[in-house]
Structure formats: structure tokens, C-alpha cells
Amino acid sequence: MSTVFEARHLNKSFGGLAVAKDISISLARGDRVALIGPNGAGKTTFINLVTGHLAPDSGTVMFDDADVTALSPTKRVRQGLVRSFQVTRLFSEMTPAEHVALAVLQRTGRSGRMLGNFQAMQDVMAEVQESLHSLGIDHVANRRVSEIAYGQQRLLEIALALALRPKVLLLDEPAAGVPQSDTSRIETALAALPADLAVLMIDHDMDLVFRFARRVVVLAAGAIIFDGSPQEVTQDMRVREAYLGNYANARSAA
């Protein structure tokens, strides 16, 4: 399948500390890739570099065969490079319907009309209802975010990202803070993502990672130490030493 995203030899240092060391990762349409590694490995830094929230010291970010390294985060989103955040960034007094409507209006260049009655816009409301229904949160569409469960808030974040019509979706710990009883809802949402959407997910829940990913990339101390299949990653001694440890032993014994 054709490559839609590529990070080429990204490097970033803060003072004398190198937090990204010659990182190269590519995604093809439909990819399901997990980016894992210990705390401080540089995973979120990498996401910030490729989405434009940080400028690399060197290296290139390619999207749809175009160099987007110098583009702002907003322009990258407009082209289809979309992320979710590790911590929810929702407005507590707004409803899920209002959040998704705002995302749709921004995508279609009508954000100035949010102050009007967006509920009278049939195309917007149809998309809002479809989006929330597909993620199983349409029953809380008109409740304030402060009144809905945290797992539902994480699902809303995925709905917002999808409303921007991404070609590449970067998920930064989509299940973080979600009670174990609600994790299955996140997994169901991930399984239902469009088949041609390229997805890169960061998460520390290894069970979730191994059920989601068709490919695993491991970062340690800012550098890639493994890029391969979920079956191979648990056998790699560098990965065992840097991160997986007992979890890899348990999977090997299973």
C-alpha cells in the first residue's frame, strides 16, 4: 500500500539532552501501528515533532508526498494529519454534540457560524449524530462534558478527531485514565476506525497494544530499537531489557 506519512531522520535536543535520535517511521494507508517504550523514551516528543508542536533540529516530515516540516499544526490538521491528546482537552460546559459540530464547522470553513444556530444546519447535525452514534455516545449528546464518564470523554475525543477527516490519526494513550470496565468501549471504537485510515497509537496497556497493532515500534532513550511484528517484538532481547521484561516472558509462556 502507498505511504501516506513518513518521518525521516528526526532529531531533537533540549540543551545537551537528545530526546529524538535519528527517528524514521513511515505509515501506509490502513496501517495499525503501536509506538511503545518506557516513560521518558520520547514517544510524545515524537508526536509533537510530526504534528508541528515542536520543530525538529534536523530531519523531515512528509505527508502525502509533500514536505510539511515547516507547516503549522493547524495546516497539518487541514491536510489530514490529526492527533488526540494523552489528557482530555474538552470544554467541560459544552456538550458532545457542540464539540463535534464545532469540529465539522472548522473542517468546512464555517467556524464563524458556531455562534449561530448550528442545530438548524442539517448537514452538520446529520454528521454529529452519525459520529456520536458510531462511537456509542449518542445517548449523552446533549449533556455537558462535565456530567459524562471519563471513558465517554475519551470516545468523544476520537469522535472529534474523526470529524476532521484524517488520513493519519495519532492516538496518544486513548485509554489513559479509563476504568478497566470501560476499556472495551475504546477497543470497539478502535476496531471500527475506517479501514484506509493510517493509525499510530501510543499506549502503555500492552494487552490493548497487542490486540490493536499489526506492527510495533519501540522507542528507548529517544531512539528506535525495534520495528516489526507483535509476534517478533516479545522475542527481541533489547526490547525485553528496555521495556517489556516480565510481560514478554508471560506472552512467551502463554
Report if residue 233 sits inside a domain: yes
Average pLDDT of 75-96?
84
Average pLDDT of 20-26?
97
Least confident interval from 81-85, 117-121, 136-140, 146-150: 117-121
Report if residue 150 sits inside a domain: no
Whether the pLDDT of residue 175 is over 80: the answer is: yes
- Residues 95-141 pLDDT 10s: 999 999 988 988 887 766 555 577 788 899 999 999 999 888 999 99
Report the mean per-residue pLDDT for the chain: 88
Looking at residue 114, its pLDDT comes to: 57
Looking at residue 253, its pLDDT comes to: 46
Average pLDDT of 188-199?
92
Looking at residue 118, its pLDDT comes to: 75
Average pLDDT of 30-36?
96
Report if residue 32 sits inside a domain: yes
* Contact between residue 114 and residue 97 where contact means Cβ atoms under 8 Å apart: no
Closest CA to 53 of 86, 24, 27, 26: 86
User: Which residues pair with residue 20 across a beta bridge?
Assistant: 12
Report if residue 242 sits inside a domain: yes
* Rounded-to-10 torsion of CA 73, 76, 161, 196: -150
Cα separation of 167 and 8, whole Å?
A: 19
Q: Looking at this protein, which amino acid is placed at residue 225? A: I
Average pLDDT of 242-253?
57
* Contact between residue 20 and residue 42 where contact means Cβ atoms under 8 Å apart: yes
Which three cell numbers, joined as nine digits, stand for 168? 493519519
How many CB atoms neighbour CB 158 within 10 A?
22
Report if residue 98 sits inside a domain: no
Least confident interval from 35-39, 42-46, 88-92, 111-115: 111-115
- Residues 203-225 pLDDT 10s: 888 888 889 999 999 999 999 99
DSSP secondary structure code for residue 116 in this structure: S
Query: What total number of domains does the chain contain?
Result: 1
Range of the domain at 51: 3-89+165-253
Looking at residue 2, its pLDDT comes to: 85
Helix then strand then coil, % of the chain, to nearest 5: 45, 25, 35
Report if residue 155 sits inside a domain: no
Looking at residue 254, its pLDDT comes to: 47
Q: Which residue has the higher pLDDT, 49 or 105?
A: 49
- Give residue 244's pLDDT band: very low, low, confident or very high (50, 70, 90): low
- Give residue 65's pLDDT band: very low, low, confident or very high (50, 70, 90): very high
Average pLDDT of 181-201?
89
Q: What CATH number corresponds to the domain at position 17? A: 3.40.50.300
Report if residue 154 sits inside a domain: no
Report if residue 137 sits inside a domain: no
Largest CA distance in the chain: 60
Q: How far is CA 17 from CA 14, 20, 24, 25, 39, in A?
A: 5, 9, 19, 21, 15
User: Which residues pair with residue 36 across a beta bridge?
Assistant: 218
